[in-house]
Amino acid sequence: MDKIKRFIECLVPASACNIECSYCYVIQRDERDVNWRVPFNYSPKVIGEALSLERMGGQCYFSICGAGETLMQKEVVDITYNLLEQGHFVNITTNGTLTKRFNDILKFPKEYLERLHFAFSFHYLELLHGKLDIFFDNVNRVRVAGCSIVVQLNLIDEYLPHLNDIKNICEQRTGALPQIVATRKETDLDSDIQFFTQHTKEEYQALGETFNSPLFNFTMKNFGVKRKEFCYAGEWSATLNLATGIMSRCYGSSLHQNIFKDTHKPIKFGAIGNNCKSLFCMNASHFMALGTIPSIEIPTYASLRNREGAGWYSERMNSFLSQKLENNNMEYTKVQVFKTKVDSVKDQVFSLRAVIGRYRRKILALRQ
């Protein structure tokens, strides 16, 4: 039986994309360069070796997402192949329109495709410009090939006049309504967490609930909630920059290491514990749903995404993503829990140094 040992959120830090959505967090921050692709410091083969079953401690779930369209980077196909070759499970978040990339992926061995999951972002209005059939054709091609899927829609005001059309076409083409993603407004104020809508939270939630989406309901319940429980992010999960090899314990941690530089060197895992620096779990439907906080009873990753009636998940994928990380890992001893407090002090020092460094660079830029 496949057993999930760790979850790794992988970033491809390239903002290139073939469509433009007003609610994209990169566009909200004015960081989009439609042509910019990122150089990878290490080959897909080295990346695969660096993330071997032996080095990671067992089978992992790698979720690959770009700052733009993930599959714009051709290296993603080979990286995915190498991760699957190692025996891992992989998710690719994509807008579903780059048919050539899907053609390349569907050449993988069937056993690899059974361990591949696609999160298809359904950008309805943007797809109306000649890409709607392409999107659904690719969704169904990967399903026929044995991959698992989720179709997810960002709930935004622009889509509200089209919700019935969106529901109808998704049911017709995929057998079910899309799962709904609550969309966050990007602001400069870290304490100002808002939804990307002109509606009240209650109105926004009511609109999302018409889709009967477990993913949306879970997100709304946990949006903006500061987590104070003991969290195993950093031990059972991590964030990883695929272009540089830099692995961090989570989004809010300044402690990091390059795990691609020496593929024979052991990776240092260590839980954040009660020392989370984030205002709320930025990707709770991944990290928390997979069980990084075992003291909380939370629905499984698969139950938040799969539409069972439509069979979006294969039996193998459903079994793998219905597990919790705590099922296949040991919880910390009292000594290990104490060590997380020491690591927290180190993290604060690194964070302070990073802030000072940013201010120094700004001052130097102003002087020039």
Q: Are strands 237-241 and 184-185 parallel, antiparallel or unpaired?
A: unpaired
CB atoms within 10 A of CB 124: 21
CA distance 193 to 197: 12
3-state secondary structure of 147: coil
Task: State the pairing for strand pair 116-121/89-94.
Answer: parallel
Q: What are 302's two structure tokens?
A: 């698969």
CB of 176 closer than 8 Å to CB of 310: yes
DSSP 273: B
Nearest-angstrom CA–CA distance, 14 and 72: 9
Buried residues in 340-365 as b, exposed as e (16+ CB within 10 A): beebbeebeeeeeeeeeeeeeeeeee
Cα separation, 219 vs 216, whole angstroms: 5
Rounded Cα gap, residues 178 and 304, in angstroms: 11
Tell me if the domain spanning 6-328 has CATH number 1.20.120.
no
The CA distance from 112 to 105, in Å, is 10
Helix axes 163-174, 132-144, angle to 10 degrees: 30
Of 141, 8, 22, 107, which Cα lies nearest the Cα of 63? 8
pLDDT at 83: 98
Quick one: CA dihedral 358, 275, 292, 210, positive or negative? negative
CA distance 324 to 326: 5
Q: In angstroms, how far is the first alpha carbon of the chain from the final one?
A: 61
Instruction: Note the maximum CA span of the chain.
Output: 62
Please, which residues bridge with residue 194 across strands? 185
Q: What is the pLDDT of residue 189?
A: 45
pLDDT, position 77: 98
| pLDDT reported for residue 28 | 55
The answer to whether 277 touches 340, Cβ cutoff 8 Å, is: no
Residue 172, number of CB atoms within 10 A of its CB: 9
Q: Structure pTM? A: 0.90
| DSSP code of residue 210 | T
Confirm if 23 and 183 have CB atoms less than 8 A apart.
yes
> What six digits make up the tokens of 272?
């954040």
Residue numbers of the chain with a pLDDT score lower than 50: 27, 188-189, 355, 358, 362, 365
In this structure, what token pair is assigned to residue 314? 């294969």
How far is the CA of 267 from the CAs of 139, 192, 291, 340, in angstroms? 36, 35, 21, 17
For residues 355 and 155, is the Cβ–Cβ distance under 8 A? no
Q: What amino acid is encoded at 169 in this protein?
A: I
Interatomic CA distance for residues 187 and 189, integer angstroms: 5
Q: Where are the beta strands (DSSP E) in 20-125?
A: 60-66, 89-94, 116-121
